[in-house]
Each structure stands twice: as structure tokens, then as C-alpha cells.
Amino acid sequence: MSKVYKPSPISGFPEYLPEIRRVEQQWIDHIRSVFESYGFCNIETPAVEEIEVLMAKGETDKEIYALSRLQADPKDKSDSRLALRFDQTVPLARYTAQHFNELVFPFKRYQIQKVWRGERPQIGREREFYQCDIDVLAVDNLPLHFDAEMPAVIYEALMGLDIGNIQIKISNRKILIGLLQTLEIKDVISTTRIIDKLDKIGEDGVRKSLSEEVGISEQNIDTLLKLSTIKTRDAAVLKTALSALNVESEVFNEGLEELCFVLDYLSFMPDGAMIADLSIVRGLDYYTGTVYETNLLDIPEFTSSVCSGGRYDDLASSYINKKLPGVGISIGLTRLFSVLLENGYIKPAAKSPADILMVLPSEDKRALAQQTAQQLRAKGYKVELYHAPQKIKKQMAYAEKKAIPFVWFPPFDDAQPHELKNMETGEQGAISVESLKL
RNA sequence: GCGGCUGUAGCUCAGUGGUAGAGCUCUCGGUUGUGGUCCGAGUGGUCGCGGGUUCAAGCCCCGUCAGUCGCCCCA
């Protein structure tokens, strides 16, 4: 026996057995069909972008994987300007700018692809993962209706995955930004970051951090907390609560109007599916208006957002001399899937997609078995032909192990009929291609 | 990037200084053309790696790498 190299799994780069991957594929199929039902069209962009493009929005703290060739001549720099994408929004902005003249606006697209981030992996934080993005980009002006459409699409997509109830939390950054301007709080990034953690560290934690880390006065903290603890799905309630703060700010009022519009538009959604939650601000990032986060209500192990996004005013301005406002949201498919898998919420599918295993009784009957399999496939069934005329016991065990629900026996001699066996019930009887109905 | 914990068979783990183990998985068998259960047999390990202490190290010490959890940040 020769020495084998024993590879270890690469942490942060998940790979699944067929029975698990099939579930992931079903999820992707479902999400895709919901996206398409709203008219989003698909694109794929390359795994790599120019580093210049990825960094265009200023310094990003996302850990980026750069590209290099092992055999590259040190003087050859042709690949060193490339890196793996860390999200799909930046490539979308580049794509839209590049194909501007050939696209129809508003440009509604979805993208289900992998992205890469070189961060320390944990459960629910991989280094290679799928994102399922929908975005709408328009020229100059993007109607607010699209801000309202995002949660509707996402609700449908996630509810179809059989993972319990979900709640989409919506806010508008302008409200908080306006308030911060009025209160003359300069350190917007730190302040929003802390407020964003309200869920995690609680009111007292936020109070402490705002006071110690940003140096905000007691009175201003009270106001900030009064704002960020507002939760309602009723636009009128929201208006009342916010006017009680007496903020004189155009930005603030604009955010309020926008958020009310979205709430009103989504009033058809079921109870609990959607809520305005003013603690949602989404850290720093490029968002300028509406922002979203999504929680799973029935999975206690899952506390972080599975799906977030928002509106951005000018993401493409680095690549084109036009104003292309957009709004988008992204399902963190791998995060969602891997956490649920880890906690036993994912029921593995059958190890094989096949409906029927075609038994191969003997080499003489191979042509018959193959032909029968082909006829069944033409009727839309998925059929695997067993590869060798081994003992029937072996062929059955194979079907059993792969969880193929039916086994088809071609006649062992010409006088006999075809037979079909239901592996679950054990029933077996004569059958013909024409009469088959599973 | 910072801190805690853990590395023994494909997987889950036991083994507290004296011959490397269990369960599950996997392969084969239990005679005619039929799976699961059951029974029997077998494969599989440089105990992460390197050094040190010791007559003797999977076990103790140092280093290192990897994994994992938390923080930062995020899908």
C-alpha cells in the first residue's frame, strides 16, 4: 500500500454529501422560481473582479482573497490585479455600468452565486458561501415601490423553505442620520454600530457604550434610545412616536415619509411578517435609505440576520458618469443552511434523485433493460440502470442504500411480464411502461 | 487581528506513565431470482507535527500547525 496524503477538510469551505446537497439545490430552485415570478432576470458575473473595482467604494474591511499563479513569472503582474468577489452588489454595479447601453431600466436582476471572505470561520460564518441577491437599479430615480417589493419577494422565498415563520425588520437610515445631525453627533459610524447591537447587548449595553465610547450626553442617549426602540408595523403609530421627539430635520422627515410609504404598501402582509424596527441601521456600508434585516422566529439557535439589504443612491458612480440608485436584498443561503443543518433542522433527501432502479438480470437482457429505462425516461421518470448483472440481492441493497423508491424487474425470461416493486411497502406486481403511474 | 477550549480509526468518542480500544459506518459471508432486521468475519490509526523529560510518553513539559467557540465584523 502506498502512502496516501490525508487531506483535512478546509474550514470555512463547506461541502455536503449528495443527500444534503439535494436539499440545498431544492432551496436554490425554489428561491430562483420566486425571484423569477416577480420578473427578476438572472445574470452571472465572474468569480474575480479587478481589485480596483472591489475597492472602489473606499477601504473595505472585508477580507479579500487575491489571485495569483504559482508558476507566474515574478515580473508578470497580469493576475495580481484580480481578487475574488466578497459580495454581489459591487460586481452588479460594475456590470450595470459596463453594459449600461444594452440593459433595460429599471434593471431587475437576481444572482445566486458564491462569494468569498477570508474571515475567521464559525458556524454560520463560512469563507465560501452562497448569496441570493435581488436588486433593482434605475437611472436617476428609483420609485419607492421597489423598496416595498423587496420584503414581499423575500417573505415568499423564505416561507417556502419550510423553516418556520420569519420576520422582516425594516427601517430607514435617514431617520437616524437626521436625528444625529440635529443632535450634532459627529461620530455617525460608531454611533450607528452601537445602536445596531441593541438586540444583542440590550438598552443598558447601548447606553453604556454610547456614553463611554462616543461620549454622548445622557439626554441625547435618551433621545436615541427612544427612537431606536420603536417597533411597529403601523405607519400612523410610527408618525406619532417620531413626532414626539420634536426633530426639526428635513432628512429625518424624508426618512419618515419613505418608511411610512413602505409600511403602507406592505399592509397586505400577514401579521408578524414585517415590522418597522428603528434599531436596524446596518453598520456602515453604502446604504442611504431603506434598510432590511430578517429573523427566523421559530429557530432559537438562529439569532443573526439571514437576509439583509437596503437602498443605495450611487453605487455605480465610480464606474459610470450617471446616477444609478438601487435597492437590493440578499439571502445568506449558506449561513441559513449551515446553521439549520448543524442544529438538525434539515432532513436529508434521498441519496439519489432516481425514481426507479432498473435491475439488470443478466448480460443477455442488458439491451431490454436499457431500452425500457429509456422509455421510462421519455415519460419523465428518473431511472438508473444497474451497472452489472450481479446478484439480485446486491442490486436491491443498492436501491435501498440510495433510497430509490422503486425497483423495476425486466423479465428474466421471455414468457414473464415486467415487474415493479415498491421498496417502501414491499409490494411487487406486473407492470408495463404504458400503465406506469407513480 | 485578539482571547478560551480541543487534536486518538471514515464518524462519535473512551483510554490519567507500562502491548492501541469501543460503538456506528464500510467490505465480505449466512447456497435457488428480492433490500431493510438479525448473526458471523474482515478492512481501517506514525495517537496533528517537531523537540524535550523518563528505563518507558497517546498521557507530563516546550514549541508549532490545525480545528472550534467567543470578541471584532458580517450573509
Q: What whole-number distance in Å separates Cα of residue A407 and Cα of residue A421?
A: 5
pLDDT value of position A283: 63
- Grid coordinates belonging to A171: 427601517
Strand B nucleotides with an atom less than 7 Å from a protein beta carbon: 1-2, 26, 28, 32-36, 66-75
Reported confidence tier of residue A119, pLDDT bands at 50, 70, 90: confident
Please give residues of chain A from 148 to 187 whose alpha-adjacent beta carbon (CB) lies under 7 Å from any atom of strand B.
none
Q: Is residue A219 over pLDDT 70?
A: yes
Q: What whole-number distance in Å separates Cα of residue A284 and Cα of residue A192?
A: 7
Reported confidence tier of residue A1, pLDDT bands at 50, 70, 90: very low
Residue nearest to nucleotide B46 (CA to C1'): A3
Please give residues of chain A from 119 to 148 whose alpha-adjacent beta carbon (CB) lies under 7 Å from any atom of strand B.
119-127, 129, 131
Mean pLDDT of A411-418: 88
Q: Using CB atoms within 10 Å of the CB of residue A348, give its burial: 0 to 12 exposed, 13 to 18 middle, 19+ buried.
A: middle
pLDDT value of position A5: 64
pLDDT value of position A2: 40
Domains in chain A with CATH codes: 18-342 (3.30.930.10), 356-431 (3.40.50.800)
DSSP A56: T
Q: Is the CB of A197 under 7 A from strand B?
A: yes
Question: How do residues A260-301 score in pLDDT, each as one tens digit?
Answer: 999 999 999 999 999 999 988 876 567 889 999 999 998 887
Spanning CA of A391 to C1' of B21, the rounded length in angstroms is: 36
Is the separation of the CB atoms in A217 and A291 below 8 Å? no
- Grid coordinates belonging to A437: 403511474
ipTM: 0.81
Q: Is the CB of A416 under 7 A from strand B?
A: yes
Arithmetic mean of pLDDT over chain A: 89
Q: Is residue A6 over pLDDT 70?
A: no
Q: Is the CB of A116 under 7 A from strand B?
A: no
Please give residues of chain A from 12 to 41 whose alpha-adjacent beta carbon (CB) lies under 7 Å from any atom of strand B.
12
Mean pLDDT of A341-350: 85
